[in-house]
């Protein structure tokens, strides 16, 4: 049976959590519209000499909510790759995790992803094979899913913020993995880009314009600390999911790797966004506002509220409570953990190039962290026992945390919090730190929905 999007959305209100999930929805391959996505080598003109990067020929993909789409990824790179649709509740086989949900796409080969997003919002896509290197080389893009009932914005801008580590001669620093750096906050960049261009990004609006800024942290490890100078801007959505009601934007906020924030702003006077985590503050984006927007249209912040997505209902009846304990790293006091079926002392783990553990396991254990039935509500007890913040990311799922849905969540050092999630599509789903240096050195696990 093929449902149209409208039938599906209409039905969504009355269906149970499990049955409202989109997985049975499947059109036959040949009917699906096709987008080509080429992963290839290219150059960026940031400095005096061109910088060789890896990127997608199509840096922004646009989908429609509830409409299935075929995306043919062709690998023109010198090594295998995959593509992960970060935040999209896709079928597990389409999740793009090399070695878990698919075999990598070999050089010269293609793979057809079939994706259908039940949610409208701001997502992104990136390589999920040798991520530590491929993401740092630039393999990511914006993924915008639009819905029929979203309000109009005169300006709608995705801003993918990244920091690149370049050498003096303008090359990407080839030292992608250094265990010392990985045991700390990870490799930090020295060049800031927005949408793969050198910052600051410049936009132009007319006063009275409704502006939507879709912020994405696409850096490998840097937790962005942003200062917003957009008078009376609102937070409309986190990780693609609209807040129940828009909230005032704090003056300073953090955005960990993989996290997104949609801001709504009634343009009044020139505004800017600063990044203040480094030694000197950098301008990320600047929006010039000129007088003369459409006169006579009454504007008030409520006109920007986004319609909520068909998320499952979080039940008070939690079927299991699972500890998700972050341990290890420098100054971390991790004594031992399981790695590849063996219990190893921290020193032995270091010899294996591993320094972080999730719930006593390093890397992908053979058995999942937990198994849950589709529709079950599971509580996760996050407990950061390390000396560093971590941005945890759930594949194919959002967790309910701090009164909002989030697929990526920064947990500061020493912090504990309980979040809940509803098991979605059947399959094997990753949980990992999106600071890729931490993921690559152990901080990842998986769960299974049956
Ligand atoms: Cu954004 Cu496992 O990835
Ligand atoms: Cu981490």
Task: Label the pairing between strands 416-422 and 377-384.
Answer: antiparallel
pLDDT bracket for residue 107 (50, 70, 90): very high
CB 443 within 8 A of CB 363: no
Q: What is the spatial distance between Cα 195 and Cα 216, in angstroms, rounded to a whole number?
A: 10
DSSP letter assigned to residue 264:
E
Which residue's CA lies nearest to atom 3 of ligand 1? 86
CB 42 within 8 A of CB 141: no
Tell how far the Cα of 393 is from the centroid of ligand 2, in angstroms: 10
Residue 393 near ligand 1, beta carbon < 6 Å: yes
List, in sequence order, every beta strand (DSSP E) within 128-207. 140-146, 155-164, 191-194, 197-198, 201-206
- The answer for residues whose C-beta is within 8 angstroms of residue 436's C-beta and 6 or more apart is 131, 132, 135, 136, 186, 220, 221, 257
Residue 7 is predicted with a pLDDT of 35
- Mean pLDDT of all residues in the chain? 91
Which tokens is 286 given?
A: 């600047």
Residue 438 near ligand 1, beta carbon < 6 Å: no
| Residues 361-391: tens digit of each pLDDT | 999 999 999 999 999 999 999 999 999 999 9
**Domains of the chain, earliest start first:** 5-146 (2.60.40.420), 155-304 (2.60.40.420), 320-449 (2.60.40.420)
| Residues 112-121: tens digit of each pLDDT | 999 999 999 9
Give the ligand 1 atom nearest the CA of 257.
1
Residue 301 is predicted with a pLDDT of 57
CB 239 within 8 A of CB 260: yes
Q: What's this model's pTM, rounded to 2 decimal places?
A: 0.92
pLDDT bracket for residue 293 (50, 70, 90): low
Residue 411 near ligand 1, beta carbon < 6 Å: no
When pLDDT is averaged across residues 307-334 and rounded to a whole number, the result is: 96
Taking CA 19 as the corner, what is the angle to CA 13 and CA 22, rounded to the nearest 5 degrees?
90
User: Which ligand lies nearest to the CA atom of residue 328 in the structure?
Assistant: 2
User: Which ligand lies nearest to the CA atom of residue 256 in the structure?
Assistant: 2
Residue 294 is predicted with a pLDDT of 60
Whether 295 has a pLDDT exceeding 80, the answer reads no
Q: What's CA 432's distance to the chain center, in Å?
A: 11
pLDDT bracket for residue 3 (50, 70, 90): very low
Whether 157 has a pLDDT exceeding 90, the answer reads yes
When pLDDT is averaged across residues 172-186 and rounded to a whole number, the result is: 96
Residue 84 near ligand 1, beta carbon < 6 Å: yes
Which tokens is 103 given?
A: 């075999």
Q: Is 343 exposed, middle or buried (0-12, 13-18, 19+ CB in 10 A)?
A: exposed
At 348, which helix (H) or strand (E)? helix 346-351
When pLDDT is averaged across residues 15-39 and rounded to a whole number, the result is: 61
Tell how far the Cα of 443 is from the centroid of ligand 2, in angstroms: 7
Q: What is the spatial distance between Cα 11 and Cα 8, in angstroms, rounded to a whole number?
A: 5
Residue 260 near ligand 1, beta carbon < 6 Å: no
Give the ligand 1 atom nearest the CA of 408.
1
Give the ligand 1 atom nearest the CA of 395.
2
Whether 13 has a pLDDT exceeding 70, the answer reads no
Classify each residue of 57-76 as buried b or exposed e, where b means 16 or more C-beta atoms within 10 Å of its C-beta: eeeebebbbbbbbbbebbbe
User: Which ligand lies nearest to the CA atom of residue 358 in the structure?
Assistant: 2
Give the ligand 1 atom nearest the CA of 97.
2
């Amino acid at each position: 049976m093929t449902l149209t999007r409208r039938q599906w959305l209409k039905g969504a209100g009355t269906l149970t959590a499990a049955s409202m999930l989109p997985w049975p929805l499947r059109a036959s391959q040949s009917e699906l519209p096709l987008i080509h996505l080429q992963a290839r080598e290219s150059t960026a003109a940031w400095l005096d000499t061109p910088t060789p990067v890896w990127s997608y020929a199509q840096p922004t993909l646009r989908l429609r909510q509830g409409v299935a789409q075929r995306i043919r990824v062709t690998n023109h790179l010198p090594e295998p790759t995959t593509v992960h649709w970060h935040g999209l509740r896709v079928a597990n086989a389409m999740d793009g995790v090399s070695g878990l949900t698919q075999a990598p796409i070999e050089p010269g080969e293609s793979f057809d992803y079939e994706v259908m997003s039940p949610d409208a919002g701001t997502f992104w896509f990136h390589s999920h094979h040798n991520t530590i290197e491929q993401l740092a080389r630039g393999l990511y893009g914006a993924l915008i899913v639009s819905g029929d009932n979203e309000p109009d914005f005169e300006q709608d801008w995705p801003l993918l913020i990244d920091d690149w580590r370049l050498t003096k001669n303008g090359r990407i620093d080839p030292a992608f993995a250094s265990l010392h750096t990985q045991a700390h906050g990870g490799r930090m960049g020295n060049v800031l880009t927005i949408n793969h261009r050198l910052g600051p990004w410049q936009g132009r609006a007319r006063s009275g314009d409704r502006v939507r800024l879709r912020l994405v942290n696409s850096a490998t490890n840097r937790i962005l600390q942003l200062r917003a100078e957009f008078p009376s801007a609102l937070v409309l959505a986190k990780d693609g999911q609209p807040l129940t009601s828009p909230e005032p934007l704090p003056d300073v906020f953090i955005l960990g790797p993989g996290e997104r924030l949609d801001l709504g702003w009634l343009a009044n006077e020139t505004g800017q966004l600063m990044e203040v985590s480094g030694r000197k503050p950098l301008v990320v984006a600047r929006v010039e506002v000129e007088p003369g927007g459409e006169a006579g249209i009454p504007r008030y912040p409520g006109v920007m509220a986004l319609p909520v997505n068909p998320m499952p209902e979080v039940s008070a009846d939690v079927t299991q409570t699972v500890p998700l304990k972050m341990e290890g790293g420098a100054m971390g006091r991790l004594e031992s953990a399981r790695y590849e079926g063996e219990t190893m002392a921290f020193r032995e783990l270091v010899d294996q190039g591993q320094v972080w553990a999730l719930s006593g396991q390093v890397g992908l254990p053979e058995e999942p962290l937990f198994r849950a039935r589709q529709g079950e509500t599971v509580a996760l007890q996050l407990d950061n026992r390390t000396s560093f913040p971590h941005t945890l990311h759930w594949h194919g799922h959002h967790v309910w945390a701090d009164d909002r849905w989030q697929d990526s969540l920064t947990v500061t050092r020493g912090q504990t919090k309980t979040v809940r999630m509803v098991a979605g599509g059947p399959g094997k789903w990753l949980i990992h730190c999106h600071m890729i240096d931490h993921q690559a050195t152990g901080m990842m696990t998986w769960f299974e929905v049956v």
